[in-house]
Amino acid sequence: MIFDDFLVRAALAGIGVALAAAPLGCFVVWRRMAYFGDATAHAAVLGVALSLVLSTSILAGVLATSLIMATIVSTLSGRGYAMDTLLGVMAHSALALGLVAVSFVSGVRIDLMAYLFGDILAVGKADLAVIWAGAALVLGLMGWRWPNLLTATLNTDLAYASGIDPKREQLILTLSLAVVVAVALKVVGVLLIAALLIIPAATARPFSRTPETMALLAAAFGASATTGGLQAAFWLDTPTGPTIVSLAAMLFALSSLAGRLKTRIMKTVGQ
């Protein structure tokens, strides 16, 4: 066997998160909701803290707080609150409350860095099952709501004319993002979740002519970044989560360069 079992589990976990994050990341880019990923991830810190205080499952706590955050943001948006202001208030409030709650936990030693930056090498079989179950749920939901989500993203007036409620579609999108944040916590951690959502989608954008192509390419770039970053971290003895995101950033830089070269070539040919 070429790879150890823990490396195989880590690779499968990374691929599962990348597949789930790809279509959601596309909508985050299209809707300019990049800050929402940060806000939901910060809520995950509060979920970890409350789980430790209440001695409950960390996954359940993270999922619950992420879902609550998503619901509150979706409910309050458009009611006199600017989205960036609302997300800023919610994100920093959740992070502060989480850190305060951790200070009340006595007799429990936790590796805070693992929650902040992920600990993909510690993924077990149960974690892997949860990650792929969450990925399957999100992918199934995206496949079911894809046309409606695209219409609501393109034009709200067109959505209403087509009998689609944009607020409902936004709620579905935000709840899906909350699920991805919860299952990705083990892989890349709170501080890097938003990067795994946004960077692969942004990398795929220059090569995509249709939304479906962008989602598929984002999944490919995300999976490549996770598996390649995992190998690089193993060889270089660097933190795995940051290495994955660093490789994703390198792919984005190359994609941007290729996109600019393509534009210049097309302009030259057109002249």
Superfamily (CATH) of domain 5-190: ABC transporter involved in vitamin B12 uptake, BtuC (1.10.3470.10)
Q: Measured between alpha carbons, how far is 191 from 217 in angstroms, rounded to an integer?
A: 24
Q: Is the pLDDT of residue 263 over 90?
A: no
Q: Measured between alpha carbons, how far is 67 from 31 in angstroms, rounded to an integer?
A: 19
Strand partners, 77: 81
Q: Is the pLDDT of residue 70 over 60?
A: yes
Q: Phi and psi (nearest 5°) for 77?
A: -65, 135
pTM: 0.86
Q: Model confidence over 85-103: pLDDT tens digits?
A: 777 787 788 878 877 877 7
Contacts of 87 (CB under 8 A, 6+ apart): 35, 36, 38, 39, 73
How many percent of the chain have pLDDT more than 90? 28
Q: Is the pLDDT of residue 109 over 80?
A: no
- Where is average pLDDT lowest: 21-30, 37-46, 137-146? 37-46
How many percent of the chain have pLDDT more than 70? 91
Quick one: pLDDT at residue 81? 62
Contacts of 183 (CB under 8 A, 6+ apart): 16, 17, 20, 59, 130, 131, 134, 135
- Supply the DSSP symbol for 210: S
Q: What is the average pLDDT across 44-65?
A: 81
Quick one: pLDDT at residue 118? 77
Q: Is the pLDDT of residue 3 over 60?
A: no
> Which of 84, 3, 68, 44 is closest to 183 using CA atoms?
44
Q: Measured between alpha carbons, how far is 12 from 141 in angstroms, rounded to an integer?
A: 21
Domain ranges of the chain: 5-190
CB 248 within 8 A of CB 195: yes
Spacing of C-alpha 220 from chain mean position: 15
Helix axes of 166-188 and 58-76: crossing angle, nearest 10 degrees: 150
